[in-house]
Amino acid sequence: MRTIGLIGGMSWESTAIYYRLANEMVRERLGGLHSARIVMTSVDFAEVEELQASGRWDRAGELLATEAARLEAAGADFLVLCTNTMHKVADAIDVATKIPLLHLGDVTADAVRSAGLDRVALLGTAFTMSQDFYRGRLESHGLEVLVPDEAEQAVVHRVIYDELCRGVVLTDSRRAYVDIVDRLVARGAQGVILGCTEIELLLSPEDLDVPSFPTTRLHVEAAVHQALVGRNRR
């Protein structure tokens, strides 16, 4: 079994889901007392959020690149960055390590295309929704990506940082998200990407009238597959 390197803490709420799902999925596939081989680092999200807010992405990239190198030294065979937004600095991680990064944008795009869809809504942080680093990655796979308008983006972003990253899940916020998705569907979205790992704390497939793509679960499924494909080599 290959060793998964998790770069977590952004936020720890969603990183805990990554860890739990990875172990559950390995147990489901191998049975018995099997669990995932994982090395993990968890950063202080307050430091990362400050760098995000001040636009110091280069410094954020350096920080996560350092953590990635530590995971490589600890024996990770490949890396999983447990956040959508910080894929903005994926290139810095690639440069700092010799092991591959399982890019969340690629995993998500593959799932959307496999479902037969080509026009999807994207919910996430304001950075993820408004900037090209993530949308462009999805579009490079032939997808058309729709995002909320500026006011709606502000709502989605606020709920993520002020509520979900703090473990707060409110019914009113769920209703607001569903209303935003409904408006995106009216604009032609065939499905919706839950493009922030914390959104899965708030929305489930039952809340929506179109297919949803939970990026945390998709990312972990891809990581477990990659870990087990080479399991007989060790």
Catalytic residues: 83, 196
Amino acid at 130: S
Listing from the earlier edge strand, what are the strands of the sheet with 78-81?
A: 38-42, 4-8, 78-81
Q: Do 18 and 8 form a contact (C-beta atoms < 8 A)? A: yes
DSSP secondary structure code for residue 46 in this structure: H
Question: What span, in angstroms and rounded, lies between the C-alpha atoms of 121 and 184?
Answer: 6
The tokens for 152 are 């709606």
Please list, in sequence order, all residues whose beta carbon lies within 8 angstroms of the beta carbon of residue 81, skipping any fewer than 6 positions away.
Answer: 7, 64, 87, 90, 93, 101, 104
Question: What span, in angstroms and rounded, lies between the C-alpha atoms of 3 and 212?
Answer: 29
Q: At what angle do helices 57-73 and 45-53 cross, to 10 degrees?
A: 150
Query: Could you please report the per-residue DSSP string of 202-225?
Result: T--GGG-SS-EEEHHHHHHHHHHH
Q: Do 138 and 122 form a contact (C-beta atoms < 8 A)? A: yes
